[in-house]
Amino acid sequence: MSVATIGDQQVDVDQEGFLTDPSQWNEALGAVLASNIGIELTEAHWAAIRFARGDHATTGETPTLRRMQSVGGVSTKEMFTLFPKKPAKKMAYVAGLPKPVGCV
């Protein structure tokens, strides 16, 4: 684990840049993380992020694409539109959550 400065915050990250302490996240940091990977956040992004963070707080795990669809109401197609190419991984990164189980 190492410390990185993202925006104006120092946060703990793993070797891939994922936050290791979700409590260090806030929406301003999420906007910077999204910008770092070329995503401009809309209300649809925020809805997915807020669901994922709430679900993580409840279950202790980052939601998978399947869970985002079945419980969060965000279709897989919409996730690919919001977070192109690797939606679960990118959404978790922006939301300050660990990489989802099964993501390579």
Q: Which residues are catalytic?
A: 103
The residue assigned the tokens 């070329």 is 38
Torsion, Cα of 55, 56, 62, 68 (10° steps): 10
What is the rounded CA–CA span in Å between residue 70 and residue 88? Answer: 14
